[in-house]
Every structure is written in C-alpha cells, then in structure tokens.
Structure 1
C-alpha cells in the first residue's frame, strides 16, 4: 500500500511542476513570444495559449504544438545571432568567437526556457502515468 502511495505522491509532484510551468507560459506567450515571432509563426503560439486556457495541459496535442513552437523559437533566435572573431595575439589559438544577440533574439532566448520547462514537465507526467498503466497491465496478465 505504501508503494502505491509513494508512486501517487511522485506523480502529484510531477504534475504540480507542470502546473507551475503552465502558469508562467501564457504570460511569456503574450508579452514576449507572440510579439517577437513573425506573424505566420504566431498561429502556433496562439494554439499553445488556447490549450493552456482550456486546461489541456497533459495532452499530446499540447506537447506537439509546444515542441514545434520551441523549434520555431530556436530558428528565430539563431537568425538574430551574429558571431564575430575576436583576435588575440597573446593566445595560442589567436583569438575566439563571440556571439551577439539582437534585441528580439535575446528576448526569445530568455523566454524559450519557460516553454521548454513546460514541455519537459508535461512530458514527464504523461510518460510516468503511461509507464504505470503498462506495469499495471503486465501484472494483471
């Protein structure tokens, strides 16, 4: 009995983490992500927002849309990065590269952590619950 309770408590803790992440992401979508994305990419961000407002937190469609949104954000971040070579005659390799973010890329780079956190937390809950169901099915055979 205590083993079942500890599994339930663990699942509850995972779910609480996902819920916490889900409280942060809508603000990030509204304030940073949607204004920073090209208009044709905002549709997906709006879909994620709708999932979250509909309490569809632990669903595969949300995970799919989040994953695609994160990929779009990464592409947009890379577009706003300039890499320059800084020469240094006192170093063995002669210098180093520096990456500079434009304002939009910097905003997206800071904001992308929240959707990633939500994706990871929700995925962990879904995967853990699915694993528990698979074990229960195996034990009943």
Structure 2
C-alpha cells in the first residue's frame, strides 16, 4: 500500500514504521546500525532502518517482515525459521528474516560460510546462528 505522511526531517524509517504505521516487526535494538534488528528492504536492498531518514525515501518501496507473506502463505524463509527452530527469544528474528531474504535475492547463499558472512550484520544474542544458516539454506532449496 502507498502512504503519504508528513514527518519531522529527523525521523528515522524505523520510527516511521513503528510509531506512525504500527508496523512493529522491525525492532529497535542498538539504534546505531550495529545489530540488524531493524533490517528492512528498501527498493530491494537491505538497510538498517534506524539509520535511514524517512524523508529520503520518497517514492521508495519498503518491505518489512510483515510484507513478506502472501496472504496466509508464509514466505519460504519465514516457514524455514519455524521448521529449523531458528529463533529463541525472537527479538532479532524479523531483522534476521528480512536480511536472509536479501541474502538470498543477492545470491550470497553458495555455502554456509558465505551465508554467515553476508548475514554478519545481524546479531542474535541467543546464539541461534547455526539454525539461522540452516533456515536460509532450506529457503534456497539447498537443505
């Protein structure tokens, strides 16, 4: 859906999504671009929404974790996270999933090592990295 809003020019994309649109999937972790909890796609590219000014995105297509499913059908990576039990507390999960979708779209899934490298901007404090990699592999059809 398309939205036109007026916001303060200092408003981050993360705050716009969470506070103005009620899309709370993207999380505010470090608010400094270091943890990846706020990862969303902007025009098909992964971005840390906490570091992205909303006013710079006029006409951009923004995809959050809420926008990945097709109706009642989960995105294959969302389903893989469930199948692989790739989360514990769940706080980082939305950012991990969106980043994983980006990783897949960018073609950085040739090996577990490559997935880990290209997902390294997303931190999981619970240490579910092995299962996260397995979920990305499953979504690509490799496992």
Q: TM-score range by the shorter chain?
A: under 0.3
Q: Which structure has the higher relative contact order (CA within 8 Å, separation 6+)?
A: 1
Larger Rg: 1
Bigger helix share:
1
